């Protein structure tokens, strides 16, 4: 009788332990999927997180490869990359700082990973394909809008560098042109997003969360000057690499942004 009681208690303990283990395992998988394990590592090592984001094919992974090995000698060829299929992270030393470099894939299906990474970012480099932006700026403007309006970014005044990449191409738009085109396209986007919200009715309109999505001032054309985050537009070419490619400027900007 007593033995039966002990056995029952033992079975209960084992069942509980198994349930706990399964739960822990599921949580691990979930956090790995959204890159939280990596954020944990960054916090543990007290490195600040620098997030590279922007549309597909802009040159984020190429930039990431350069920044990871800032003290190696110049490689003139653009790093060979493939469309990224996962968030990739690496420790790097930039200037005096140990940073945690996060390369977020540009594809829309990674937008939740992107937002999770942006929530922990100390600085953001938004990489733009300046050839694509010269042709059709819509996609880039949408991606930049989402980044700038992401949770807490404006509140934290997190610095943003918009890197107008692929300047080695004759078809590339300059940083000034990219800035002007994005400013006017975001103005258009903002109006259409606001209209979509309005059509949802007063309830949605009163929602404080939705209101904070609005960039700039109502009744005034959108301007990057009106944002709380410091934002700067510069040019680069991963194909030209160090020196002419403008990598040093990016490193200096990151070092300055983290101070």
Ligand X SMILES: *[C@@H]1O[C@H](CO)[C@@H](O)[C@H](O)[C@H]1NC(C)=O
Ligand Y SMILES: Nc1nc2c(ncn2[C@@H]2O[C@H](COP(=O)(O)OP(=O)(O)OP(=O)(O)O)[C@@H](O)[C@H]2O)c(=O)[nH]1
**Which residues contribute to the site for Mg ion (CB under 5 A)?**
60-61, 84
Give the interface size with ligand Y as a residue count (CB under 6 A): 21
Nearer to ligand Y, 99 or 127 (CB): 127
CA distance 241 to 70: 11
Shortest separation between residue 61's beta carbon and ligand X, angstroms = 8
What x-and-dash track marks residues 142-171 binding ligand Y by CB under 6 A?
A: -----------------------xx-xx--
Is 43 or 85 the residue whose CB approaches Mg ion more closely? 85
Residue nearest to ligand Y (CB): 106
Number of residues that bind ligand X (CB under 6 A): 7
Alpha carbon distance 207, 198 (integer Å): 11
Shortest Cβ 181–ligand Y spacing (Å): 19
Nearer to ligand Y, 215 or 247 (CB): 247
Report how far residue 84's alpha carbon sits from residue 61's, in angstroms, rounded to the nearest whole number.
8
Please identify, using beta-carbon distances, which residue of 86 and 200 lies nearer to ligand X: 86
Nearer to ligand Y among residue 18 and residue 74 (C-beta): 74
Q: Does 59 bind ligand Y (CB under 6 A)?
A: yes
- Rounded to 5 degrees, φ, ψ at 162 are -95, 115
Q: Which is nearer to ligand X, 30 or 188 (CB)?
A: 30
Q: Which of residues 92-111 bind ligand Y (CB under 6 A)?
A: 105-106
Per-residue 3-state assignment (H helix, E strand, C coil) for the chain: CHHHHHHHHHHHHHHHHHHHHHHHHHHHHHHHHCCHHHHHHHHHCCCEEEEEECCCCCCHHHHHHHHHCCCCCCCCCCCCCCCCCCCEEEEEEECCEEEEEEECCCCHHHHHHHHHHHCCEEEEEEEEEHHHHHHCCHHHHHHHHHHHCCCCHHHHCCCEEEEEECCCCCCCCCHHHHHHHHHHHHHHHHHHHHHHHHHCCHHHHHCHHHHCCCCCCCCCCCCHHHCCCCEEEEECCCCCCCCCCCHHHHHHHHHHHCC
Provide, rounded to whole angstroms, the least separation between the CB of residue 232 and ligand X. 5
* Interface with ligand X in residues 63-102 (CB under 6 A): 84, 86, 88
The least CB distance from residue 152 to ligand Y, in Å, is 23
Residue from 60, 179, 190, 193 binding ligand Y (CB under 6 A): 60
Binding site for ligand Y (CB under 6 A): 56-62, 78, 81, 83-84, 105-106, 127, 165-166, 168-169, 237-239
Residues of this chain that interact with ligand X (CB under 6 A) are 84, 86, 88, 232-234, 249
């Amino acid at each position: 009788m007593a033995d039966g009681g002990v056995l029952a208690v033992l079975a209960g303990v084992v069942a509980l332990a198994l349930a706990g283990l399964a739960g822990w395992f599921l949580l691990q998988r979930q956090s790995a999927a959204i890159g939280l394990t990596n954020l944990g590592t960054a916090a543990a090592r007290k490195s600040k997180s620098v997030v590279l984001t922007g549309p597909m094919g802009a040159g984020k992974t190429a930039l990431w490869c350069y920044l990871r090995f800032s003290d190696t000698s110049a490689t003139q060829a653009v790093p060979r990359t493939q469309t990224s299929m996962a968030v990739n992270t690496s420790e790097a030393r930039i200037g005096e700082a140990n940073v945690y470099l996060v390369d977020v894939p540009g594809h829309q299906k990674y937008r939740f990973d992107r937002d999770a990474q942006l929530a922990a970012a100390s600085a953001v480099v938004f990489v733009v394909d300046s050839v694509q932006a010269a042709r059709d700026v819509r996609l880039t403007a949408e991606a930049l809008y989402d980044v700038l309006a992401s949770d807490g970014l404006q509140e934290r005044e997190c610095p943003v560098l918009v890197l107008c990449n692929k300047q080695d191409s004759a078809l590339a738009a300059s940083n000034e042109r990219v800035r002007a085109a994005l400013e006017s396209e975001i103005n258009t986007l903002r109006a259409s997003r606001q209209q979509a919200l309005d059509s949802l009715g007063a309830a949605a309109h009163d929602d404080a969360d939705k209101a904070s999505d609005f960039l700039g001032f109502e009744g005034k054309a959108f301007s990057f000057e009106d944002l709380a985050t410091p934002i700067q537009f510069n040019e680069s070419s991963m194909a030209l690499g160090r020196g002419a490619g403008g990598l040093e400027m990016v490193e200096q900007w990151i070092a300055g942004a983290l101070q």
